[in-house]
A and B are shown apart, each in its own frame.
Chain A
Amino acid sequence: MRHEDYKQLLALEAVGALDEEERARLGEHLPSCAECREELREMSDAAASLLYTVEPVRPSAELRAHVLARVRAVDPSEVFVDPSEVAASSKAADPSEARAGAPSPTVPRDLRSLLGGASLWQIFAWRPALGFGAAAALAAVVLLGLTSLTLWSRNRSLSEEVASLAGRLREAQSETAGQREQLASARNVEELLASPGVRVAELSGKTPAPQAHAMLAYDRATGRAVVMATGLPPCPEGHAYQLWLIADNKPLPGGTFKSDAQGRGHMSDSLPPNHTAPTFAVTLEREGGVPAPQGDVFLVGTAKG
Chain B
Amino acid sequence: MSLATPQTDAEDAELLRAVARGDEAAFARVYDRYAPILLGLMLRILRSRPEAEDVLQEVFLQVWQQARSFDPARGRAFTWLATLARSRAIDRLRAVDSRERAAQRSAEDGQPPAAESPSWAEEEAIRAERAEAVRAALAELPEEQRQVLVLAYIDGMSQSEIAAAKNQPLGTVKTRTRTGLKRLSEALRSRLGQQFA
Contacts and interface: CB of A to CB of B under 8 A. Distances in A.
A190 to B, nearest CB: 59
Nearest to B161: A17
Contacts, number: 235
Contacts of A71: 24, 27, 60-61, 64
B134 A61 contact: no
A45 B54 contact: no
A46 B87 contact: no
Question: Which 8 pairs of residues, A with B, have the shortest CB-CB distance?
Answer: A117-B84, A61-B115, A56-B36, A46-B185, A48-B82, A52-B134, A80-B65, A48-B79
A51 to B, nearest CB: 5
Given A15-B153, A17-B158, A108-B94, A68 B24 contact: yes
Contact of A59 (B41, B53, B61, B71): B53
7 contacts: A11-B178, A45-B76, A49-B134, A50-B150, A54-B44, A71-B24, A105-B54
A66 interface: yes
Interface of A: 8, 11-12, 14-17, 19, 41-64, 66-68, 70-72, 74, 76-80, 83, 86-87, 90, 102-103, 105-108, 112-113, 116-119, 121-122, 125
A6 to B, nearest CB: 13
Contact of B35 (A43, A50, A59, A86): A59
B111 to A, nearest CB: 8
A91 B83 CA distance: 25
A17 B170 CA distance: 12
Say whether chain A's binding surface is mostly helix, strand, loop, or mixed: helix
Contact of A86 (B65, B78, B152): B65
B177 A11 contact: yes
Contacts of A61: 114-117
Say whether chain B's binding surface is mostly helix, strand, loop, or mixed: helix
Interface in B168-197: 174, 177-178, 181-182, 184-185, 188, 196-197
Nearest to B73: A41
B28 interface: yes
A52 B138 CA distance: 10
Contacts of A119: 83, 87
Given A46-B188, A60-B115, A90 B150 contact: no
Contacts of A113: 91
A108 B87 CA distance: 12
Interface in B68-93: 69, 71, 74-76, 78-88, 90-92
Contacts of B130: 49, 52
B74 A125 contact: yes
Nearest to A8: B178
Contacts of A42: 185, 197
Nearest to B128: A56
Contacts of A60: 112, 114-115
